[in-house]
Amino acid sequence: METQPLSTVKKPLRIMKFGGTSLGDATRIRKAVEIIRDAAREGEVVVVVSAMSGVTNRLIEAAKQAKSGNREAVDAIFEELRDRHCEAVSALIHSVEMRSRISRDLRLVFEEGERLCQGTILLRELTERVQDSISSLGERLSAPLVAATLAECRVRSETVEATQVVVTDDCHGSADPLMDSTRQRCESCLRPLLRRGVVPVVTGFIGATREGVRTTLGRGGSDYSATILGAALDAHEVIIWTDVDGLMTADPRLVPGATTITEISYREAAELAHFGAKVLHPKTLRPVSHCGIPLWIRNTFAPERPGTRVTPTGPTTNGGVKGLTAISDVALITVGGPGIVGVPDVLGRTFATTAAVRANVLLISQSSSQNDICLVVSSSAAERTVEALRREFAQDLVHEKVEHITLDPTVAIVTVVGKNMRGSGTVGRTFAALGKGNVNIIAIAQGSSECNISFVVKEQDVKFALDATHREFQLGVLDSRAIPVQSVAVGPSAWRYESEPRTASAD
């Protein structure tokens, strides 16, 4: 048998993202660093980091307080964040030289944050740009900390600001990547580091426009950063390291019997993420869906467990229900009345209005008599959407063609996700399960993709709805096709994917 000379064997490249929960304190950062160190022995690694847990929330609070002119509150938040990071530095970095370097780097980031807040206090105005600059400070604090801890463990590493590599549009707060430019930047900035055996530690969540203006990818966006870099560098795999054993059949905080899904398709994982599985940012699957790069979700605190493997088509054998999700911070808007049948283009006008106010419509349902249109939007967009709809239909309301435009903020969406669910009685079984607990289903929507069925229920019924549906579809029964772990530190080896077909990556 012919063997390849060692020097020509391409080392696997892994993108490893560590979420805030994996970087919550010095002990957790040490765990993450051990995983990176072991992976760096086997191949090339690009690390993507979130802010330490809770830090982004505090920064957003600081920005809000600055806008209201509350200088003391801002100072208190910065003091608290400074203490937390200093504590981590003291516990993790022992070399005097390294400690003074990292302390200086962190001080510069804190000073920039304080200047941004002072400007906001003076102007009493918080622009989207400034909001992005303040909310992204946490990643700029955690990345040097992780890089320095790696250096202490004799792993060559360098902090890389994502503004240098992730080029985005200018949609502040939920920017999307411009992949051609991002690819070029990754080749010129990250590839040389990898060739020199250096582990780049990239700030997640952040990007910059072509003009260099800082943007963010949306809350929880470091997952998205990881797959953007994975696609741009044509990585062998992307691993999302988090605080649970993988993508689970339901949020384990709501359904204690939830189990880890061994393998799932991109499509199903994307549906779970879209409908509220917080473990993945809703757009995480987008960059890799063109190029077939496997994505893993694994537990930083139990790296010996295999986690979930997300692949283009998922396991070949099973269709049916894979998981459940719920989103509670939503509101139901109803545009209705018997007269709306006669109102021209009521659907078109409704959705032109939601688009104009940039409301993300999560679910739509219309009664066949066309008497009611129900739409579910995120709570944050609810008030402005209803106001805009009332303006749009003002004349029709006066003439009672549209009888009511109502808002119910006390609802939630429960979604059942799976493959080939049509004809499998999923709707009937879910109805029956919910009926046993007298849960009232307010609206229902099924995508033509057969991948999801969503139910709108009262918020107080969510836990029962999830528990009952989880039991009905026996999702608590552990998947017997568990993938064996090949390496304790980084789990299933990337080498296996070398032979898997890849299609050319597209923008």
15-23, 179-187, 469-477, 487-495 -> range binding Mg ion (CB under 5 A): 15-23
* Minimum CB–partner distance for residue 211 and ligand ASP (Å): 23
Residue 113 or 221 with smaller CB distance to ligand ASP? 221
The stretch among 271-279, 287-295, 392-400, 491-499 that binds ligand ADP (CB under 6 A) is 271-279
Name which of 92 and 240 has its Cβ closer to ligand ASP. 240
Q: Rounded to a whole number, what is the distance in angstroms from the first to the last CA of the chain? A: 39
User: What's the gap between Cα 356 and its chain centre?
Assistant: 25
Give the span between the Cα atoms of 349 and 189, in whole angstroms: 47
- Cα distances (Å, whole numbers) of residue 336 to 371, 402, 475: 6, 6, 38
**Interface pick for ligand ADP out of 12, 14, 15, 21 (rule CB under 6 A):** 21
Q: Which is nearer to ligand ADP, 279 or 340 (CB)?
A: 279
Q: Which is nearer to ligand ASP, 50 or 454 (CB)?
A: 50
As a whole number of angstroms, the distance between CA 42 and CA 37 comes to 9
Query: Which residue lies nearer to Mg ion by CB, 242 or 350?
Result: 242
Closest distance to ligand ADP from the beta carbon of 393 (Å) = 37
Smallest distance, ligand ASP to C-beta of residue 15, A: 14
CB closer to ligand ADP, 22 vs 174:
22
Candidates 89, 231, 248, 417: give the one binding ligand ADP (CB under 6 A). 248
Residue 265 is encoded by which pair of tokens?
Answer: 């398709």
Q: How far apart are CA 160 and CA 312, in angstroms?
A: 30
Q: Are strands 157-160 and 199-203 parallel, antiparallel or unpaired?
A: parallel
Are 118 and 86 in contact by the 8 Å Cβ rule? The answer is: no
Element (H, E) at 193: helix 191-195
- Between residues 138 and 492, which has the closer beta carbon with respect to ligand ADP? 138
Residue 242 within binding range of ligand ADP, rule CB under 6 A: yes
Is residue 327 within 8 A of residue 379, CB to CB? The reply is no
Bridge partners of 46, per DSSP, are 15
Shortest Å, Cβ 220 to Mg ion:
4
Among 207, 220, 314, 336, binds Mg ion (CB under 5 A): 220
Contact pick of 40, 47, 226, 277 for ligand ADP (by CB under 6 A): 277
Burial of 478 (0-12, 13-18, 19+ CB in 10 A): exposed
AA letter at 230: G
Q: How far is the CB of 453 from ligand ASP (least distance, A)?
A: 28
Q: Which residues neighbour 502 within 8 Å (Cβ) at sequence distance 6 or greater?
A: 291, 292, 293
Pick the piece of the chain touching ligand ADP (CB under 6 A) from 114-122, 137-145, 240-248, 450-458: 240-248
CA atoms of 163 and 186, how far apart (whole Å)? 11
Binding site for ligand ADP (CB under 6 A): 19-22, 50, 220, 242-244, 247-248, 250-253, 272, 277-279, 323
Q: Where on the chain is the footprint of Mg ion (CB under 5 A)?
A: 19, 220
